[in-house]
Every structure is written in structure tokens, then in C-alpha cells.
Amino acid sequence: MLKLYGGARSRASIVHWYLEELEIPYEFVKLDMQMGEHLQPEYLAINPFGKVPAIVDGDFKLWESGAILLYLADKYSKSSLSSEERAVFSQWVLFANATLGSGIFVEANREREMPRLLTQLNEIFSQQPFLLGDKFTVADVAVGAILNYIPMILKLDLSPYPAVLNYMKQLSERPAFQRSIAKRT
Ligand SMILES: N[C@@H](CCC(=O)N[C@@H](CS)C(=O)NCC(=O)O)C(=O)O
């Protein structure tokens, strides 16, 4: 069975959420990061950098939350993906982890980056429920997780972006979200 390695309040919750959405069997291995379990040889054999999340799927090991999301989308989505679909998923997952995450959570970037990023996202969610239209995809897990981390971590006024707030709320009410990221696992 696929194993997801994570720690309390870690980015493993993003992958956890997607596994719940996919409804595939998996085991969540919760490392005691306070005790440095992620830096022990057993885990370093999976991710030599000692960061979570990582997965082990059969003999295959993979780390970096974005890479894991894309692998899961590719392997476990109900229909097979075209090159274009795969590329658009990569675009949004990289946007979430590289551009949106650092634009919001790196304080030095926030004033400059956050308004332009959230204004455009607000525009998108004013037109459609999900990033790619009417269908929830892995892109929403990547971007939605970063957005929903905001109220968990920071006190920011998002009221200028009502469509983003509504999107965050819709996502946070999904049963798979409630079973995973909402518990801050
Ligand atoms: N870009 C990586 C970030 C991984 C990361 O920094 N994980 C943190 C937990 S959220 C971690 O493992 N920290 C432990 C450490 O640095 O010792 C990803 O998205 O997977």
C-alpha cells in the first residue's frame, strides 16, 4: 500500500488531502519531527534531505509535495492525461509552491506580490468555481492548500478578494479536506 510520510502541521497535509480526494488506499506514517524522526537513517533513505512529505509507492520513492501531487494525478486520476493537461497541472502546482507560497508566506515579498496574485485569482474565481473551470483538479489542491494555510498561519485581511474567500470556503467544506488538512495533520 502507498505510504505517505509526514509530520504534524506539515506540508504533508497537502498530499494527504489529495489522497483523500482520490480515494485510493494509503497509510499515513506520522513522523515525530520534534524528536527528529525525519532525520533518522530510516527516513533519510527515503528523502536524503530529511524533509516531509515523501511517499513510497511499491519500490518507488518520491519527495517534494508538488512532485508527489503530479505523480498521483498522473497515476491515479480516473482518466489518462494528455500532455497539455499534465503541463497545465504542472503550471498550477509550480505556481502554488513557488510563486503563490513565497508571495504570501515570505514577509519581504508580501506587500508587493500578494495583491497582484490574489487580484488575479479573485478574477478567475469570479468567473468559475475551480481553477480549470467546473471540475475540481489537483491544481485546486495545490493552490487551495496554500490559500487555506493563510488563515491557519497568518492574520491577513482577505476581504478585498471575496471570490477567493468563497473558493477557500468551498474547498474547506469538502469531506476530503475535512478528513485531512483541516485536522492539521
Ligand atoms: N518544498 C518542499 C518543502 C518541504 C519542507 O520544507 N518540509 C518541512 C515541513 S513543512 C520539513 O520537512 N521540515 C523539517 C526540516 O527542515 O528539518 C515541499 O513542498 O515538499
The atom number, within ligand 1, closest to the CA of 68 reads 20
Q: Where are the domains of the chain?
A: 2-77, 83-178
Nearest residue (by CA) to ligand 1, atom 10, is 10
For residue 101 and ligand 1, the question of a CB distance below 6 A is answered with: no
What is the pLDDT confidence band of residue 79, given thresholds at 50, 70 and 90? Answer: confident
Residues 161-168: contacts with CB under 8 Å, at least 24 apart: 161/118, 161/119, 161/121, 161/122, 162/122, 163/121, 163/122, 163/123, 163/124, 163/125, 163/126, 164/118, 164/121, 164/122, 164/125, 166/125, 167/121, 167/125, 167/129, 168/144
CA of 49 to the centre of ligand 1 (A): 9
> pLDDT band at residue 183, thresholds of 50, 70 and 90?
confident
Which CATH architecture is the domain 83-178 placed in?
Up-down Bundle (1.20)
pTM above threshold 0.85? yes
Write the pLDDT tens digit of every residue in 120-166.
999 999 999 999 999 999 999 999 999 999 999 999 999 999 999 99
CATH architecture type of domain 2-77: 3-Layer(aba) Sandwich (3.40)
